[in-house]
């Protein structure tokens, strides 16, 4: 079996993985593995932009306050302070790496506005910020001799004490990570990637829901692998639903950026009336949890299928110049957004929880770092403020390399690690099992674990997901691994983590709303929801 050894193994080629790679490459060899073509990531689809304090009218204090307020009491203040203070420096680095952000006529940044922000602070490249960032970072990594990217390579499992030839894990001892077993999808070969520091930058898990803004790669692999390895997982119940995705049978939940509302767009019902004033003083620009819950409530009251985002009152040339991709995409479905309101519905968008990591990106497993959407760094609390996600990935990847560059020097040898053992497995061509199970998971999460939850629905979902996991595990043990199978298995584990976390939180807060406990309860629930697989001791 093939083994590849590096100082740093980065799993994922979105903003978190690539920005880390560019700094890590100054301290050792870097392997980046990525599931598909290298640009394919949530990052590449980001529209609105990146929040940071650049306006003289704004301040770190306001950005901090808005972030804490959206997070509904669960943000870790130290992490948020770091996020907002370091934001402008990290964005300057992006510019040095070649990202061109939109400017105003006086050459200052054209700062947009999004839900929950009290000031204009969203730096953007029109409505395609993500692809501008992704392509600049990829070009910069291409130029670096210490970085190699492996496309179509999927991490299957993290290598820990569980994979030593002489397997012995004394009770209470800490776990270590020395890399990952990786599937080379094209050659159907499993490679042992050894590394002194392993970086989880695998992004989110939106694909666990039937309707999502996330691309197909977002199957929660990092969270599922870390959970199976014994890492601490936090706050998985806080799944963010974006209020406005295009409602059209062929649109695959295409995002209509919150920046459209920041530009003056107004949410309206089918009869043309605006409704958000009833729910929040910021009306259409309220934080996302409030807007998504309001839309859900209005649709249920009226039995209607969508609401409308109206930007027809704004100058049409200005709309086309600011949102060229959204304009073109909607036009391809015969919706001219300068003349007609856009039909929109909420869809799963962002995981606020994830692998627990500290402000240096360190997880509870030694040698394993996590940041970006896969992680729970504590900055988002119970609801992420718009455009704080790309920022989080940048800030925490920087903090992580400051630690990891020293950590790798302390690792002088690898233990005796077993090869991947797939004896007794066969190539089953039962694709129908995989596609059927995937749709079943997505549908049950959408129906029972969506914007509005209840004990009855969550318990039903938990019973079903446990059956599905048993079935998948049986199939997995006798089947040669494929990308479809490993993704299905990971989706099932992530679904279970979301359901179990939601069942534990007996209150409503931020993105978690349950009809059985409809109020926020600070007396008992002002704390993170922590899940660990077994009693193996992990972390600080």
Q: Which residues are catalytic?
A: 288
Closest among 451, 427, 436, 416 to 289, alpha carbons compared: 451
The CB-of-288 to ligand FAD minimum distance in angstroms stands at 11
Q: Residue ranges of the alpha helices (H) in 346-430? A: 389-410
C-alpha to C-alpha distance for 506 and 379, rounded to whole angstroms: 22
Shortest distance (Å) from residue 500 CB to ligand FAD: 22
Q: What is the DSSP string of 156-221?
A: EEE--GGGBSS----TTPPPB--EEEEEETTTTEEEEEEEEEEEE-----GGGSSSBSS-TT-S-H
- Contacts with ligand FAD, 202-231, as mask; x by CB under 6 A: xxx--------xx--xx--x----------
Residue 241 vs 525, nearer CB to ligand FAD:
241
Q: Smaller CB distance to ligand FAD: residue 5 or 184?
A: 184
Binding positions for ligand SIN, 13-52, rule CB under 6 A: 47-48
Tokens, residue 73: 């009491």
Pick the binder of ligand FAD from 71, 262, 353, 372 (CB under 6 A). Answer: 372
Least Å distance, CB 335 to ligand SIN, is 18
- For residue 202, the partner it binds in ligand FAD, ligand SIN, none, with Cβ less than 5 to 8 A by kind, is ligand FAD
The rounded distance, in Å, linking the Cα atoms of 351 and 192 is 29
Task: Give the span between the Cα atoms of 10 and 401, in whole angstroms.
Answer: 12
Q: Is 102 in the site for ligand SIN (CB under 6 A)?
A: no
Strands, sheet with 233-234, edge to edge from the N-terminal-most edge strand = 375-376, 354-356, 233-234, 530-531
Tell whether residue 387 is a contact of ligand SIN (CB under 6 A): yes
* Residue number of the CB atom closest to ligand SIN: 48
Report the nearest approach of ligand FAD to the CB of residue 80 (Å). Answer: 15
Please tell me whether residue 41 binds ligand FAD under the rule CB under 6 A.
Answer: yes
How far apart (Å, rounded) are the C-alpha atoms in residues 127 and 327?
10
Report yes or no: 248 and 343 within 8 Å, Cβ to Cβ: yes
Work out the end-to-end distance of the chain between its first and last CA atoms, rounded to an integer number of angstroms.
34
Of 11 and 234, which CB lies nearer to ligand FAD in the complex structure?
11
The nearer residue to ligand SIN, 123 or 496, going by C-beta atoms, is 123
Can you tell me the distance from the alpha carbon of 252 to that of 207, in angstroms, rounded to the nearest whole number? 12
Nearer to ligand FAD, 154 or 383 (CB): 154
- 481 binds ligand FAD, rule: CB under 6 A: no
Helix (H, G, I), strand (E, B) or coil at 271: coil
Site residues for ligand FAD per CB under 6 A: 11-17, 33-36, 40-43, 45-50, 129-130, 154-155, 201-204, 213-214, 217-218, 221, 255, 350, 372-374, 387-390, 393
Site residues for ligand SIN per CB under 6 A: 47-48, 257-259, 350, 386-387, 389
């Amino acid at each position: 079996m093939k083994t590849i050894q590096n100082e740093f193994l980065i799993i994922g080629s979105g903003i978190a993985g690539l920005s880390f790679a560019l700094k890590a490459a100054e301290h050792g060899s870097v392997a980046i593995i990525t599931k598909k073509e290298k640009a394919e990531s949530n990052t590449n689809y980001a529209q609105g932009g990146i929040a940071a304090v650049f306006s003289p009218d704004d301040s770190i204090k306001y950005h901090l306050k808005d972030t804490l307020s959206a997070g509904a009491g669960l943000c870790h203040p130290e992490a948020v302070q770091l996020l907002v203070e370091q934001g402008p420096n990290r964005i300057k680095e992006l510019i040095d790496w070649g990202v061109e952000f939109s400017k105003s006529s006086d050459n200052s940044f054209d700062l947009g506005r999004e839900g929950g922000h009290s000031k204009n602070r969203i730096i953007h490249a029109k409505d395609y910020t993500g692809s501008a960032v992704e392509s600049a970072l990829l070009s910069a990594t291409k130029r670096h001799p210490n970085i190699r990217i492996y496309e179509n390579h999927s991490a299957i499992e993290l290598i820990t004490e569980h994979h030593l030839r002489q397997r012995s894990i004394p009770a209470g001892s800490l776990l270590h990570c020395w890399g990952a077993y990786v599937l080379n999808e094209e050659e159907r070969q499993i490679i042992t990637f050894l590394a002194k520091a392993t970086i989880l930058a695998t992004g989110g898990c939106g694909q666990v829901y039937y309707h999502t803004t996330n691309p197909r790669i977002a199957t929660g692999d990092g969270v599922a692998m870390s959970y199976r390895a014994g890492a601490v997982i936090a706050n998985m119940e806080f799944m963010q639903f974006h209020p406005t995705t295009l409602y059209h049978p062929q649109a695959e939940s295409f995002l209509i950026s919150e920046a459209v509302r920041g530009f003056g767009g107004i949410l309206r019902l089918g009869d043309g009336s605006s409704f958000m004033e009833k729910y929040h003083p910021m009306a259409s620009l309220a934080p996302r949890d409030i807007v998504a819950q309001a839309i859900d409530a209005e649709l249920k009251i009226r039995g209607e299928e969508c609401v409308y985002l109206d930007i027809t009152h704004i100058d049409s040339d200005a709309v086309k110049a600011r949102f060229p991709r959204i304009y073109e995409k909607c036009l391809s479905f015969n919706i001219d957004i300068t003349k007609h309101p856009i039909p929109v519905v909420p869809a799963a968008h962002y995981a606020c929880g994830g692998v627990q990591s500290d402000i240096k990106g360190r997880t509870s497993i030694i040698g394993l770092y996590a940041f970006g959407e896969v992680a729970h760094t504590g900055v988002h609390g119970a609801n992420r403020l718009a455009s704080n996600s790309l920022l989080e990935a940048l800030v925490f990847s920087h903090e992580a390399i400051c630690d990891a560059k020293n950590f790798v020097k302390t690792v002088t040898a690898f233990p005796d690690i077993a090869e991947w053992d797939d004896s007794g497995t066969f190539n089953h061509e039962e694709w129908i099992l995989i596609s059927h199970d995937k749709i079943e998971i997505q549908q049950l999460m959408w129906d029972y674990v969506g914007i509005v939850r209840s004990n009855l629905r969550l318990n039903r979902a938990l019973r079903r997901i446990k059956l599905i996991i048993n079935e998948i595990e049986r199939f997995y043990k006798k089947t040669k691994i494929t990308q479809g199978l490993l993704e299905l298995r990971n989706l099932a584990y992530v679904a279970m983590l979301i359901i179990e976390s939601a069942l534990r939180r007996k209150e409503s807060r931020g993105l978690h709303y349950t009809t059985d406990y409809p109020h926020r309860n600070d007396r008992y629930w002002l704390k993170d929801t922590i899940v660990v697989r077994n009693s193996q001791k992990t972390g600080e």
